[in-house]
Chains A and B, each alone.
Chain A
């Protein structure tokens, strides 16, 4: 009896019949069980008293005792000692009572005179094992129940008829304690019949046997609308695997939904604010453009006013010249008449008159000058024409957002015409332009960048108040895939403390009212953001500043074509 799986047993016999008790004892001794003690009481009360003092592994109980009868005996004993293994030993043969006894806490049912030590042995061993399993089950069920009750998510189990067959306390709290046994559509949807199968998420689980997730709005017992996120899976299946019941776990996401709604609202407000900022920025950029145009308008006006001035003046003078020619022509025609019919004296008189008039009207000067008048006026008109042409090239307001193929060199030239008057008193402009520098760009915008940088350079030079003029150098060339334009000045340069800020909006070193502080930040935006180019600055205090503008070069296919042509020619 010392082998593995064997154990010692303490046995209590509760039996009022002394003979039966003795018989039991003898049979026990004939079993292979290792029995350490056998106690015997005749009454239930004695048994209960004894059990309070001592531990027993098995109670062999006769239900009909002097102080208690029938199932009551078993129930009382089980109630007080639920963990005790009880085997009923009785004289009756009523199957019904036997079953009831098993349901009331007994592990087995032996009928007096119908068992031998072998059966008794088996019964005791199995009963103890069964009781242990039952206890373990009860324990884990207790844990499970505690868990299910503690979970704040709603858990319900629904059968194929959509009847709620089980609900945890969270679900009951929301929908009422009486929901078990009611239909889910009744509880959740306040309907009298099933929801249409297409819209029923549980139905899908029953049909597919797969896990399903969904969000839904449900009315609780107080009539409040609540949002849930639900998961459902098959809980029970029939033997052939058909889903029989579905467990649904629902989380109340009403608060999260509200928070989400709040976030959406906040986000929308932010977006609006952002939009407003963008509009303000556009307005600022536009203002900056107008400011830089306005700044130059005076210069351009002067540039135009001068040629228009002398051309208009010349035109006015030309009228006087013509009058003089007319006067003289009239006099010559009178002279011609005199030659036909007049006397020598009258002819001589006319001649003298003409000579007189020639002198007074300064005809020598007029005749000599009239050629110049035309040449100079024509030159003046050409100048006006070219200014207008360049202005149009410069701003291209008519196609504000278009990107076109554009030669940066012509951009530099157009900008110089516009900016020349602003610069020419402060600096000499030296250009070193390559043959052609084709880029895809918005020429108006790119020219604005040139203008900003050129005007800045000129103002920087002016700020030094030097005797001699400064120098602004403009160089263009191509480098790898970039069209490069370098604009350098020999102005005062920019200090290390300032150079990092020059592209910041509103940063300006110019006196109040002179600069918006947006010129370079707008330039940066145009080159870097709008044209995917680069805008960098190099500067040394006392030496000057260089701005380097790089724009993606258009790869010229014409060159390749030319090469092919040349090849064909040599081949031919």
Chain B
């Protein structure tokens, strides 16, 4: 067992956990990190710095609904003849920590239940004749590897601290990690260090009630949230809490700049949806200059009814905090990595789509729950059936109508029968890959958008999902991750840059990756819908190395060839749609279709519906 203090590196994650230990109302800490960085070791070591006896419950990934929420305890019920309630995992974590390793792989219904428990602080058990409320106020500590996929935004939003993702490359630190694992540390030292740390946290908890934050500081934090485009109000509340906890850890009574910086780093930056802009000079300018048009309208709607009472509040706000805001902007800028939106968890591009693609059914998929039903309509869930029959045995045996049956047999009636419900993603994932290079790009983009929209209209019925990858310049980019939301597609595809080279290989690679990720989540049928003339002129290398030499034609062709083969081997269907006038074409698009084992469609000036038709016909 490696203790909290033994873990080297991951300083920010450690700081985050300490803040949480000081103020459990922060809700939790999420640590995204690469494999082998010690994130789960650290999370488990978190128990070291919590008061003794604090529950620490690890959530198994394959948890079923009744284990999560609670239900009837079969063994005890059968033994006692009285229904015995079994608390679920969520309620067992009450007052302590719920730890989830590989948070991004958690089943979406489990995620929903966790979200619900967090927002209520308790679990409502309305199951199998039970109607109970179990307290379930816990801190959620989650770790995951971002390459496994993303965590649902709704869940992340309810967790106060999200540690910014960093790959741990420090050679010396690594060496130390290794030596720690090998057990070179002195146990005595460890014990002392832990003791000291626990003392600091205990003192900070007491100090927390004496720390205050000024209105100006709050305004600066909220302003920062606004300029980073953070959604909702939870983040504001969490930031203030984090700043207070940070000050408490330092045994101060006032929040200082460093506390605010830390809070911004751990709470706001990971939720940023856009880069902040320095537009503070002109005071008339509202801070929300750049949001997409949709939001702008909403902003106006919002402001219209509620202007008068806040007039003085706004004036007041303009005087003092300018200085502070400047300061915060500095803080953000120095803290910000080069490309915030690419690493930020809250970035729209990476947000995971909803769970609507899942269908409950009686035949296949993952077993989720048992439900009353006809015996012939599916697989009988034996144990749940027995549970529901168990309490009736006495009554039934005394029933005259049941007379003549051997006393030893269980009497099971039709109403006891429970059948198994499985969760399965039965729909198809359509991955659109749109060539956004060259002069016809705008046209292709419009067609693709139309087709995406049209497919999504019926997505509910078919449980299909749609993703969109655009490729231009040096590399392809996922514009819309697998999703079923019309609203989302509309927003994500609002502004689409076009022009530049044609990194076809990069698109194929990214599509393949997206497909593989979808497979791990249970989507088996995948189709590439490629809207391109098939003429790639960028090598894969260029996508990752800006200084890469221009790839030769042969190399590009080779890359496309081998990627196509792998894609085909993975059982991914593909169609290639060429929407351009073909007097310039040298037949690359049909060739691409052939390599992918798919079909080629030539649809000049295609309407969205034609594209959909082509996709569905295959």
Partners in one complex: no
Q: Which B residues form the contact surface with A (CB < 8 A)?
A: none
